[in-house]
Amino acid sequence: MDYRQLEKRISAAVEKERGRLLELCERLINIESVTGNERAVQDEVKNIFQEIGLETDYWIPDDEELKNYSLYSDTGESFLNRPVVAGILRGKCPSKGKSLLINGHVDVVTAEPLDMWDTDPFQAVIQDGKLIGRGASDMKTGLCVGIFCTGLLKKYFGGVNNDITIVSVPGEENGGNGTAASLMRGYTKADASIFPEPTSNQIQPAHRGAAFWRIHVDGRASHGGTKYKGVSAVEKGMKVAAALQELEDTRNREICSKNVFYKDYPLSAPVTVGIFRGGQFTSGVPEHCMLEGCIELVPGENVEDVAKSLEEAVRGACKDDLWLMEHPPRVEWFGLFYNPAQTEWDHPFVTLAKESFRAVTGDEPAVNGFEAGTDMRLLNRNFGVPGLMFGAGDIAMAHAPNEYVEIEELIKNAKVMALMMARWCGVE
């Protein structure tokens, strides 16, 4: 089929069915699914797969089997009553197309504090051209676009030549064990993959790695009136925080800003102090301080090496400070600890994505790296499946009150994604 004719047919079909896309988004947003409580929304995803006519696989991962899997992240969570759902549109003639896997997560972060919302976060609202609700940006709408486009190609083109597999997972916000469970199930093979995270319709074939750290700093307690008899752990912790800021500056200047996908960001790989806690009394010299945060890394770096660089920076903060040299801060690593991933800039699937964006919009696409981590690393680094992030939502809205997606950006995303899928998988 002529490329331009295909684009026109797909765009017209998306416009005709836009109400269906919004309906799917509303159905998922309206089901509360904070991480750990995904059963009801996954049941709805299964219902939607069956409505479309997809081959459906629905299962609850076995905790013990999953914990023994090599790609499991030790988060301490259970997957009891937290199903994974896969929907498959089988290809009619695999030799005439390439296979595609779409991975989306249904879990969302808490909507607290609720008084910061203007609407019920778990009741989708359309207002001023926006679809509002928890998951509207990250990433229930992205998953719905993938489902919608698959149904669209089945309805208007009679299907595709090679397989489209949609994997809907729980537990992404807590480290990616839902996707690990899908890989353990065997969903490891595809010629390309899409993770419809909130990219503001930018094409992002790379994402960062991340590691959570916790630093304990000891001091010596004293009454505030005799501060000179104590040692403030908070003041020592401020020295550590300053060393981490210097580490961030050095890494971004010498390493991270040179990565092709991250070179244009004001800050390529943050070192974030998310929690700084110390002291018990207003008039007391604190004897303990705790800093907790995240260090991020770009493709080409290794998380173990980056973790060592942070530990070295903490040791560096102790130089010329007799107390810290004798009472060195303790660094521990917990929770997220994973590597970045990327698909090469000139990979055929990335090229096709750029071409599809131009055909639909008439504009040149922005191509860069996702400013966080995603589950793409599990499929990409362990099974060699190329992929990219592409979604209508804005990552700045992802965990914010009054989360929303612009409806016209959602429609644009659907047109581009459907064209990508049709060209990659093949249609008649």
175: pLDDT confidence band, cut at 50, 70 and 90? Answer: confident
Q: How far is CA 245 from CA 216, 242, 258, 321, 409, in A?
A: 17, 5, 19, 18, 36
Q: What residue spans define the domains of the chain?
A: 3-207+341-425, 210-338
Beta carbons within 8 Å of 278's beta carbon, 6+ residues apart:
217, 233, 234, 237, 286, 288, 289, 290
Cα–Cα distance measured from residue 261 to residue 258, given in angstroms and rounded to the nearest whole number? 9
Task: Please tell me the predicted confidence (pLDDT) of residue 1.
Answer: 67
| Assigned CATH class of 3-207+341-425 | alpha beta
Task: Kindly report the average pLDDT of the chain as a whole number.
Answer: 97
Q: What percent of the chain has pLDDT over 70?
A: 100
| Assigned CATH class of 210-338 | alpha beta
Cα–Cα distance measured from residue 264 to residue 204, given in angstroms and rounded to the nearest whole number? 13
| Average of per-residue pLDDT across 122-135 | 98
Q: Do domains 3-207+341-425 and 210-338 have the same CATH topology?
A: no
Strands 164-169 and 84-89: antiparallel
Cα–Cα distance measured from residue 214 to residue 105, given in angstroms and rounded to the nearest whole number? 27
| Average of per-residue pLDDT across 32-58 | 98
Cα–Cα distance measured from residue 161 to residue 99, given in angstroms and rounded to the nearest whole number? 9
Q: pLDDT digits over 317-358, tens only? A: 999 999 999 999 999 999 889 999 999 999 999 999 999 999
Q: What percent of the chain has pLDDT over 90?
A: 96
Instruction: Assess whether pLDDT exceeds 90 at residue 4.
Output: no
Task: Please tell me the predicted confidence (pLDDT) of residue 344.
Answer: 96
Instruction: Assess whether pLDDT exceeds 70 at residue 78.
Output: yes
Task: Please tell me the predicted confidence (pLDDT) of residue 174.
Answer: 84
Instruction: Assess whether pLDDT exceeds 90 at residue 130.
Output: yes
